Amino acid sequence: MKTVRANGAHIPQLGFGTFRMPEAEVISILPKALQSGFNHVDTAQIYENEAAVGEAIRTSGVARDSIFLTTKVWVGNYGRDRFAASVEESLKKLKTDHVDLLLLHWPNEAVPLEVQIGELNAVRERGLARHIGVSNFNTALMAEAVRLSAAPLATNQVEYHPYLDQMKVLEAAETYGMALTAYYAMADGKVPNDPVLKEIGAAHGKSAAQVALRWLVQQPDVVALTKTATDSRLAENLAIFDFVLTPGEMMRIHKLARPDGRIVSPDGLAPAWDKAA
């Protein structure tokens, strides 16, 4: 698996995401994903499946030190009285003494960002997380987080797919030496049936989904998360490193972006998103 280097972190470029995956589904599919070649797993406290992820890693037979494991602290745990304890609880569920990457899941104005970043650094200093970062931050919040953090931030995990222009976030990440980790790569089911992506895929003997994933990882310092509960899709999702999109094909895909392309923007959590470049 190719990796993205980001402020000392070596993040496998394709990750297995577990958002909205029930525990039984995680226990069923994740060991197979790990055995098939995925070595980057993404979960979160709010997904309520960390224990299943930990169990799946244990039963997979794949060594923990060969897996890049990410989890995210939920906004309700950002206060000084809850942050470290919530991370310790996550590690207990995950059956590990550390995660490779720990993220703030969403912005939360109820707790000063200085406190959030301070707590994130404190658990890193204790060895509970090897690397730290943020998720769903706009460029202004990224700048402030970088300024406040003693340790370099490895990534900003955000929604990113062909229908959403994230050039401003990408450019900011590059400035700070950070990666951009893309979630919702399939745009909630829109990607597999897109005629442009299908046409490009036909030229390479690939599916529209593979084209979208390839488009993501072919961009500098972009990591893509993918998810499936179907055994046969595991190999398909991994098979994106044996072809290259032309500059013209990359541009055609970028041009699919539209002003209303954002899918995930929950009230009470979402910041003021950057406008398209």
Q: Could you give the CA distance from residue 182 to residue 158 in angstroms, rounded to a whole number?
A: 5
Q: What is the DSSP string of 102-126?
A: EEE-S--TTS-HHHHHHHHHHHHHT
What CA–CA distance (Å, rounded) separates 25 from 232? 15
Residue 47 is a catalytic residue? yes
- CA 153 – CA 113 distance, rounded (Å): 14
Q: How far apart are CA 229 and CA 135, in angstroms?
A: 24
* Chain centre distance of CA 175: 19
Contacts of 108 (CB under 8 A, 6+ apart): 75, 78, 116, 269
Q: Given 47, 163, 176, 183, which residue is catalytic?
A: 47
CA distance 178 to 133: 9
Non-local (6+) Cβ contacts of 267 within 8 A are none
Query: Which residues carry out catalysis?
Result: 47
